[in-house]
Amino acid sequence: MNDDRLQYLFDRYCAGACSPEERQELALLCLLPENQQALEKIMEATWERTSLENDMPAREGDLVLQNILHTPAKELPPVRKIGWQRRVAAASIILVAGLGSYFFLTHKKETPGEVLQAVVVNDIKPPVANKAVITLADGTELPLDSAVNGQLAMQDNVKLVKLANGQIVYKTTGGGMVSSPQYNTLSNPRGSRVIDMELADGSHVWLNAGSSIRYPVAFTGNERKISMTGEAYFEVAHNVAMPFKVISDKAEVTVLGTHFNVNAYTDEENTKVTLLEGSVKVNGSGTAKVLRPGEQAQVTDKIVVTADADLEEVMAWKTGKFIFGEKTDIETIMRQVSRWYDVDIEYQGKIASHFGGTISRQVNISEVLKILEATGNVKCSVLGKKVIIAP
């Protein structure tokens, strides 16, 4: 049954006729070990048939086949009508493209290396629980995974509530004025799911794994100021009379009401502020820049603004993906993997190649490593909570 369905979907994919749902089903079937032998036979038969029909020399066909897994994903459109050679290449990429993921080398080797299998002593699943902890003004710690739904605390006439969907909400009760603000800290450790929080002013914050944010329970005075480490996405409630400020190690972001992302992990070489909607002012290193939607400020000892930021890549963590541009080094990739799966990374040798592509954040770490290894330029192994990367 599976063999017939696999053949049907493969033929439709090669013809550029697959629907998104059928491509997803084909990717899932390709991942199943029991389908590997049937898949190899289908590919061999398809290659043989198309080679005969188009009279391609055997030696040239072998070279094309060897390079299939090293073909940049941007050359493999999923539906567009293309030549038969590239249709077969597009279908073949599914072998390393489980669950809609793909990866490729920016610079291919002259001779493709053997596709390796990641050595995994114990597999590591993606986060299934929220391990975030809220520290109240009096020092009380509230682990959110074990906290019951409903009111968790009352501070400064503001209720702290956990909703059934896991969201954390601060709700004002309409009490008297607050003389001095009380501060809470939300810490979301490595290996924890993204946490969604609504502040007392109605602003929304999504906090990535390995991040923390410190904020007043109720905003007072003439500004709304919070501090953070790691990565967070903000949708700020508009208030002209009370600007919203985000303070990180290298940058200060000031807004009135807008949508923006801040990546301020201490192990990254710079802080990135990316604007999706509205306007923000970024201060850092003694200078200031005002961003327009689609722009990104990178802050080190100066501020460099990129006019057309890749917003899909920036927001991938919030949409359940790893997305990397074509010139991403292995260290940048593995820092994200480390935070999400709560593992340490050890490098044995220099990996000079750059990578690019998309991987779901919902798969086990072994699938991520297998996709990386399919490029032929890196070997991965997992020992306990350590991932070893070698050329």
The CATH number of whichever domain residue 249 belongs to comes to: 2.60.120.1440
Same domain, 95 and 140: no
Tell me if 142 sits within 8 A of 136, measured CB to CB: yes
Number of domains in the chain: 3
Same domain, 292 and 335: no
Mean pLDDT of 19-46: 70
Same domain, 266 and 201: yes
Length of the chain equals: 391
The model's confidence at residue 370, banded by pLDDT at 50, 70 and 90, is confident
Residue 112 lies in a domain: no
197: amino acid identity, one letter: M
Residue 383 lies in a domain: yes
pLDDT mean across residues, the chain = 80
**Which residue would you say has higher pLDDT here, 6 or 50?**
6
Boundary (domain end) residue, out of 314, 343, 376: 314
Same domain, 224 and 140: yes
Which residues form the domain of 225? 133-314
pLDDT single digits (tens) 236-274: 999 989 999 999 999 999 998 899 999 999 999 999 999
Same domain, 190 and 237: yes
pLDDT single digits (tens) 150-208: 999 998 889 999 999 999 999 988 765 666 789 999 999 999 999 999 999 999 999 99
Give percent of the chain with pLDDT exceeding 90. Answer: 51
**Which residue would you say has higher pLDDT here, 219 or 21?**
219
Residue 43 lies in a domain: yes
Residue 120 lies in a domain: no
Same domain, 144 and 229: yes
Q: What CATH number is given to the structural domain containing 372?
A: 3.55.50.30
What pLDDT score was predicted for residue 157? 86
Residue 9 lies in a domain: yes
The model's confidence at residue 4, banded by pLDDT at 50, 70 and 90, is confident
Say yes or no to pLDDT of 300 above 60. yes
The C-alpha atoms of residue 297 and residue 314 are separated, in whole angstroms, by 12
User: pTM above 0.85?
Assistant: no
Same domain, 307 and 330: no
What pLDDT score was predicted for residue 76? 38
Residue 122 lies in a domain: no
What pLDDT score was predicted for residue 326? 78
Same domain, 307 and 329: no
- Any residues with CB less than 8 A from the CB of 362 and at least 6 apart, and which? 99, 126, 320
